[in-house]
């Protein structure tokens, strides 16, 4: 509490909207609204600087002071990421050292990918890791008999996702800076990400073999960014490397182990099992495949786990080489099968004794979201127009997404033409790409609707839209998109037809049966297939068929429905050109009720 009675909080040099909301015990939506009123368009995972965060905090009755970053385990329990809170409950006498988890960040073209390849190649050449045949988002190498786990993709999306969810996925960040280019904007952003995650930073000064390399100038820029090199009497280890020439790799691995020894990275292999989702997807012939990183405890086939709104019994488990695993201890990256649906990157997974307990938690989470959805204010085209008519608002706010930039431009042009009358159209955000969670958060904060052309909404975006009551309208013909907006502005729009996904699956094989035709051998990977429902086939992300089932069989019997985990034979009305690996979506079209 400050002298004038207002609450006092410490803020770092940069912080995400989500983290700022948590520190002030406020809603992220409230933060985004204040930012928008000050002319700053930010999503929930976006970094804002200290000055911007201070303005938001002052409007909410807080005083701020700058926070000095120290890498320490003595954080307040409320500031600890969830998995560290779980680890704090373990018996200290049972804790043992675990492998450090390292992610590599830095500016584009500074050599992140080349450095990872050099580390992996050096390790394989030394006979320590063996051939890496399967990419699962993370892998392990050994140096002097000690393991190090790397998040495989440079600047991996899961790192940001895990940090923003309060689950610091990495123990150490290796910041790659090119000696011939110095500190660039993305380098500063990477420094801010690492500091916000409260993890130590090792600088790999790459491209030292280049004739235009200037190590001293690069070190000067690092010092100005708060990373004073150790040979300049600072605390940051700077390792000169050449990823291309494979120079300095051993020194870098040595530095990682040295920092790891200083920060006391421990876990209990026999304790409570938990970890995080690195990435997850549906693969042909395998169903839902989840790549995970174990933090504590030991994961084994047959274990029942819950991650977000997904659960399941582990059927099979593989390491980063694609070899079957019988168990996986702390800091071990694994790929597993057996989940009922695809969890989100950054979701914490926990072990349960029975499927009944796991299902109960998932149903409880789904019910909580459903109840929040029922109470959430809706933002449909019809209701927005009603507010315009009543004088509450004077514009229709839209978030527009399209498959390519070439589609986006005519859509924006057409919408701007429609907005020249009494009712204005305000396009808050327009971009090529699928609809993401950040699009939904922006729409929620600004009471906008999301319009998509030839795109899909990812699973996290759909869940968020349901929870926040945001309307997503998808089109594949431009004039229908603009026609609906025009009808909404005139109050003539008919009730929205909503797509309700029943289940998903994959084509495992194809058959030709005389007098019947082509049949697809399928597996239902989530939900269920219904004989009377609509069906859609996708091949490598592109829709190749939309229509209906002509037949649905299970073990030669005609059936009305096939549930998750079962295989079936399916025929598609007037379509025979399906192929192994095609993704199947089964859905119903329903009239929206509110």
What DSSP line would sit under 254-323, residue for residue? HHHHHHHHHHT-EE-TTS--EEEEEEEEEETTTEEEEEEEEEES-B-TT-EEEETTEEEEEEEEE-TTS-
Total residue length of the chain: 594
How many whole angstroms from its chain centre is CA 69? 26
Alpha helices in 391-458 (DSSP H): 405-418, 437-446
- Give the C-alpha separation, 459 to 535, whole Å: 18
Per-residue pLDDT in tens (0 to 9) along the chain, 594 residues: 545 556 778 776 667 788 888 888 888 788 888 887 776 777 776 777 676 788 888 888 887 765 433 323 333 333 445 566 677 777 778 888 899 988 888 766 777 778 888 887 755 433 333 333 234 467 888 888 888 988 765 444 434 443 333 234 678 888 889 998 888 866 776 777 677 667 888 999 999 998 988 999 999 999 988 899 988 888 899 999 998 888 899 999 999 999 998 887 888 899 889 888 887 877 777 888 888 899 899 999 999 999 888 899 999 999 887 889 999 999 999 999 999 888 877 788 899 989 888 888 888 877 776 665 455 445 555 565 566 555 555 677 888 998 877 778 788 888 888 876 667 788 888 887 888 887 888 787 777 889 998 888 887 788 888 877 788 888 888 888 888 888 777 654 455 667 788 899 999 999 888 777 889 999 999 989 998 899 999 888 788 898 999 899 988 888 999 999 899 999 998 888 899 999 999 998 876 554
How many whole angstroms from its chain centre is CA 574? 38
What pLDDT is attached to residue 582? 92
What pLDDT is attached to residue 434? 86
Domain boundaries, the chain: 7-68, 99-264, 274-372, 376-494, 500-591
Q: Which residue spans within 54-100 are E strands per DSSP?
A: 62-66, 96-97
- Return the bridge partners of 64, or none: 9
The Cα diameter of the chain in Å comes to: 87
What pLDDT is attached to residue 156? 42
Identical fold, 274-372 and 500-591: yes
Helix H or strand E segment including 282: strand 274-283
| CATH superfamily for domain 500-591 | Translation factors (2.40.30.10)
What pLDDT is attached to residue 476? 83
What pTM, to 2 d.p., does this model score? 0.52
What pLDDT is attached to residue 491? 59
CATH second-level architecture of 99-264? 3-Layer(aba) Sandwich (3.40)
- Give the C-alpha separation, 498 to 87, whole Å: 44
What pLDDT is attached to residue 81? 54
- Give the C-alpha separation, 40 to 35, whole Å: 5
Contact 246, 208 (CB under 8 A): no
Contact 66, 10 (CB under 8 A): yes
Q: What is the CATH number of domain 376-494?
A: 3.40.50.10050
Find out if CATH 2.40.50.100 is the number for domain 274-372: no
Contact 349, 276 (CB under 8 A): yes
> Among residues 492, 493, 445, 444, which one has the least CA distance to residue 471?
444
What pLDDT is attached to residue 315? 92
């Amino acid at each position: 509490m400050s002298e004038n009675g207002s609450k006092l909080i410490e803020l770092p040099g940069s912080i995400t909207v989500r983290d700022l909301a948590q520190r002030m015990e406020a809603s992220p939506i409230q933060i985004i609204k204040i930012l928008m009123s000050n002319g700053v368009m930010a999503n929930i995972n976006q970094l804002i600087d200290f000055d911007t965060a201070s303005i938001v905090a002052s409007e909410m009755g807080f005083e701020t002071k700058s926070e000095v970053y120290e890498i320490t385990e003595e954080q307040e329990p409320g500031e600890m990421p969830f998995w560290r809170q779980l680890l704090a409950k373990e018996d200290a006498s049972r804790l043992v050292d675990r492998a450090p988890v390292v992610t590599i960040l830095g500016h584009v073209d500074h050599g992140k990918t080349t450095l990872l390849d050099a580390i992996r190649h050096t390790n394989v050449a030394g006979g320590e890791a063996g051939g890496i045949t399967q990419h699962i988002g993370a892998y392990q190498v050994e140096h002097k008999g000690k393991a190090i786990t790397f998040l495989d993709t440079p600047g991996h999306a899961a790192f940001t996702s895990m940090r923003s969810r309060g689950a610091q996925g990495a123990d150490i960040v290796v910041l790659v800076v090119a000696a011939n280019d110095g500190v660039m904007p993305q380098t500063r952003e990477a420094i801010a990400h690492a500091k916000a995650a409260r993890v130590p930073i090792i600088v790999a000064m790459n491209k030292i073999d280049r004739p235009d390399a200037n190590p001293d100038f690069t070190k000067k820029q690092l010092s100005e960014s708060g990373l004073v090199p150790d040979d300049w009497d600072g605390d940051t280890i700077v390792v000169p490397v050449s990823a291309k020439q494979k120079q300095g790799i051993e020194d870098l691995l040595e530095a990682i182990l040295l920092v790891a020894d200083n920060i006391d990275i421990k876990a209990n292999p026999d304790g409570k099992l938990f970890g995080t989702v690195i990435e997850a997807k549906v693969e042909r012939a395998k169903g839902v495949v989840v790549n995970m990183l174990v933090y504590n405890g030991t994961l084994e086939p047959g274990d029942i786990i819950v991650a977000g709104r997904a659960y399941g019994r582990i059927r099979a488990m593989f390491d980063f080489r694609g070899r079957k695993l019988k168990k996986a201890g702390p800091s071990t990256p694994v790929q597993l099968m057996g989940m009922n649906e695809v969890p989100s990157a950054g979701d914490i997974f926990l072990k349960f004794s029975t499927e009944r307990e796991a299902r109960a938690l998932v149903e409880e989470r789904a019910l909580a979201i459903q109840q929040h959805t029922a109470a959430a204010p809706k933002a449909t085209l019809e209701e927005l127009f009603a507010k315009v008519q009543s004088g509450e608002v004077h514009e229709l706010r839209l978030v527009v997404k399209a498959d390519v930039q070439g589609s986006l431009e005519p859509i924006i042009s057409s919408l701007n033409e429609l907005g020249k009358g009494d009712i204005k159209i305000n396009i808050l955000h327009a971009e090529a790409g699928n609809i993401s969670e950040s699009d939904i958060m922006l729409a929620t904060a600004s009471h906008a609707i999301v319009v998509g052309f030839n795109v899909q909404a990812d699973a996290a975006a759909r869940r968020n839209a349901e929870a926040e009551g945001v309307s997503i309208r998808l089109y594949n013909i431009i004039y229908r998109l603009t026609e609906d907006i025009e009808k909404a502005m005139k109050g003539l729009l008919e009730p929205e037809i909503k797509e309700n996904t029943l289940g998903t699956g994959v084509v495992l094989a194809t058959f030709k049966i005389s007098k019947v035709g082509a049949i697809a051998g399928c597996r239902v990977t989530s939900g269920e297939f219904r004989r009377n429902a609509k069906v859609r086939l996708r091949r490598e992300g592109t829709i190749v068929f939309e229509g209906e089932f002509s037949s649905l069989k299970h073990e030669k019997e005609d059936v009305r429905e096939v549930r998750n985990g079962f295989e079936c034979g399916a025929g598609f009305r007037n379509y025979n050109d399906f192929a192994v690996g095609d993704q199947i979506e089964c859905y119903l079209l329903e009239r929206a009720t509110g």
